[in-house]
Copies of this chain bind each other. A is one copy, B any other.
Amino acid sequence: MKAREMMDKNYLSVKAFDSIENVSKIMEDYKRFTCPVVDDNNKLIGWVTALDITKGLREGNDKISEIMHKPEETNALKEEDSARKAVLEVNEDRVLAIPVFDDNEILKGIIRSFDVIETFSELYETKVYKIYEAMQGQLKGVTWDELMKASAIVSTRTTGVKITPEEYDKNIHNATFGNAVWATGGLENFFVGLISVGEMVIARKIGQRRK
């Protein structure tokens, strides 16, 4: 995934000669806590946050140009950069938004912390049965019932709590990947569980083939 695919193209921008008062109204109306400052060619020339605005208002400044940060002081990404870079920077530098540029330094979009969370959420909200369906598709000849039976056995063995194949089936239709990772205590554990199930049905499949 590229920064280009994660960024919001409908960002709000202001001009250096705008008054702090007007920009504060715009940011309030659009509920934006940070805002890029651009020139007429949409080149980034500065950056303001709501906290720069509070300071500017308090100290009696007039224009955005008096309070804005320089572009060099903000994180910046290219459209072709990996989205992972955005995630790492938002996480490490705890910035609410990162501007994304094309090769001519023109501002093309903004990646906000919400865009990062949205991308993550999609992954986290993947239903577990979708992963089982993919598994069944790969393990040609294995039925859904066999998969549920093996899963119930593995689950009972791992947790010590008895569960029927029918209950397991119902559970994975409700559970998300995020639930499952947290419930099993981590990504590796989650995959180990799936691999155990795979191992069991594959062994059975190969056994039957040889009969």
Q: Contact residues of A with B, CB < 8 Å?
A: 1, 21, 24-25, 27-28, 31, 33, 49-51, 53-55, 57-58, 82-84, 87-88, 90-91, 94, 96, 113-114, 116-118, 120-121, 123-124, 126, 130-131, 133-135, 137-139, 176-179, 181-182, 187-189, 191-192, 194-196, 198-199, 202-203, 206, 210
Q: In the assembled complex, which residues on chain B have CB atoms less than 8 Å from the CB atom of A50?
A: 33, 49-51, 53-54
Q: Report the nearest B residue to A137, measured CB to CB.
A: B192
Q: Report the nearest B residue to A124, measured CB to CB.
A: B87
Given contacts A50-B54, A51-B31, contact A134 B192 (CB under 8 A): yes
Q: In the assembled complex, which residues on chain B have CB atoms less than 8 Å from the CB atom of A192?
A: 134-135, 137-138
Extra contacts besides A96-B96, A139-B199 (12): CB < 8 Å: A25-B58, A33-B51, A50-B54, A54-B57, A87-B120, A87-B178, A88-B121, A130-B187, A134-B195, A135-B191, A138-B196, A198-B198
Complex Cα distance, B172 from A31, in Å, reads 41
Closest chain-B Cβ to A116's Cβ sits at a distance in Å of 6
Complex Cα distance, B194 from A33, in Å, reads 42
Q: In the assembled complex, which residues on chain B have CB atoms less than 8 Å from the CB atom of A123?
A: 181, 187
Can you list 9 A-B pairs, Cβ within 8 angstroms, ordered by A? A33-B33, A84-B179, A91-B121, A123-B187, A134-B189, A139-B195, A194-B195, A202-B202, A210-B210
The majority secondary structure among interface residues of chain A is helix
Closest chain-B Cβ to A8's Cβ sits at a distance in Å of 11
Complex Cα distance, B192 from A142, in Å, reads 14
Q: Report the nearest B residue to A185, measured CB to CB.
A: B1
Complex Cα distance, B189 from A123, in Å, reads 12
Closest chain-B Cβ to A174's Cβ sits at a distance in Å of 12
Complex Cα distance, B87 from A94, in Å, reads 17
Complex Cα distance, B27 from A138, in Å, reads 53
Contact of A126 among B83, B117, B188, B203 (CB under 8 A): B188
